[in-house]
Amino acid sequence: MTEYEDRLVDAEFTAYRDALVPAVQPAGPDAARATVRRRRHRAIAVTAAAVVLAVAVPVAGRAALDRQPGPPDPGPAQTVEPSPTGPGSPSPSTAPSSAPPTSSPTGSPAGSAGAEPPAAPDGRISRAQLLAGKVTLPAWSPDECQADGAVRLRKADDDVGEPALVSLAHGDVDADGADETVALVGCRYGEAVGKQVVAFDRDTAGRIVTLGRVARTGEGQRDILAYEVTGGGSVRVRVADIQPCCDVPTYLTRDQWRTYRWQGGRFTQTGGPTAFGPDGRLTDLTLTAGELVLGTPDAAGKRTGSLTLTVVNKGPVDVPQLGFSSLGRLGERAGGDFAQCRDLPAVGPYWADCVTGGLPAGERRSWTFRFLVDGPTSDGGATAVRVDHYDAQNKGWPDLTQLDNAADVRTTN
């Protein structure tokens, strides 16, 4: 790399830029506004569809909506019974760390029905109280947020790096006979929000103290969709593997209910799966491409050529439909296996040039497409084409190994 080369390339780009500037025709910011307005109207019009509703409802709303799914909590009975020993029995623990490692419904000395007020501090904190002063937050996943320690929670998670209170619930999670407050807090990073489920209590002086973190988002579990405190004092959290943003389809998300209990001074998982594992809906496709060899030009200067693409489905999942993309960049369709191509109905954000029949796991298949190419082609130029997995509902799916789904096609004479 000589300085001459650098200057040559730089000068070419400058000339390129100067020549192209007058040709650019911006549609204008008003057009962008109009587009966004139109999309919003359209979004409102289709909110009746359940799928869209699930996307549009914010997390706080989902926490309320999604109570019913998931296995029943294995925890004990729903009510805390008055202590058989009655008032005057040893006071329940006031310090969370000295709470019994496991709770039983009858083991909580403090009664809710008794005449005596519960001796444990009331950890039932309102939204306004939680927002009123600083609270101590456990550490976030370092790649998501740095604002832990004493912070004042915001009302909304609009600001990057500023923790906010998303929602809260109440329940006796440390079996002291009094309710604590379980809150979902969020901290925005870009288009996504880091989240933690945190339990708060009060100390004997009535100050808000942090009991501990129930669960947080991070590598491998990027979203918390819902949570609830069960009657047995467990906290159930609905964790998702990804937090889809922007163009990522929401159907890629997998979610699990996981159960946590306050044991030995911290929350530990007592139920539900502990990891998502590999996504059993995905498979490994591999594409290999030959060259697009062009014949001699016809009277109009157009040339035809054939390209053979071979796809192997290494498994483990059968693919109902295969979609090829970027074929249109090679030339016009001129027969061959283009006859098999179907257009994909516009049901999702995914799109392919040509959708063809499927490929069971473990099988290999080749297609030969014929192209009509107009005018001179840049000799040796490569165009990347790729193959993707579509299901029977025309939804596109990522691949277990994305890199080998694409192959460079060289056009030669």
Contacting residues toward other proteins, per CB under 8 A: 1, 5-6, 8-10, 12-13, 15-17, 19-33, 35-36, 39-40, 158-160, 191, 246-247, 325-326, 328-329, 331-332, 343, 346, 349-353, 374, 378, 380-382, 384, 386, 388, 396, 406, 408
CB of 408 to other proteins, least distance (A): 7
| Closer Cβ to other proteins, 305 or 331, answer by number | 331
Report in angstroms how near the CB of residue 396 gets to other proteins at its nearest.
Answer: 6
Q: How far is the CB of 248 from other proteins (least distance, A)?
A: 10
Euclidean distance between CA atoms 287 and 366, whole angstroms = 10
Question: CB of 353: closest distance to other proteins in angstroms?
Answer: 5
Q: How far is CA 259 from CA 135, 198, 199, 347, in A?
A: 25, 14, 14, 36
Torsion (CA) 224, 199, 151, 163 in degrees, nearest 10? 10
Residue closer to other proteins by CB (options 236, 389) is: 389
The span from the CA of 192 to the CA of 223, in Å, is 9
**Distance, CA of 333 to CA of 135 (rounded, Å):** 64
Q: N- to C-terminal Cα distance for the chain?
A: 31
Q: For other proteins, which is the closer residue by CB, 208 or 352?
A: 352
- C-alpha 327/C-alpha 351 separation (Å) is 12
In the complex, least distance from residue 13 CB atom to other proteins, rounded to whole angstroms: 4
Q: Is 359 helix (H, G, I), strand (E, B) or coil?
A: strand
Query: CB of 266 within 8 A of CB of 275?
Result: no
CB atoms within 10 A of CB 82: 19
CB of 384 to other proteins, least distance (A): 6
The token pair at 214 is 């129930």
Q: What does the alpha-carbon distance between residue 120 and residue 96 come to, in Å, rounded to a whole number?
A: 10
Q: Which is nearer to other proteins, 10 or 116 (CB)?
A: 10
Residue closer to other proteins by CB (options 143, 408) is 408
The smaller minimum CB distance to other proteins, of residues 200 and 390, is found at 390
Residue 362 in tokens:
């473990």
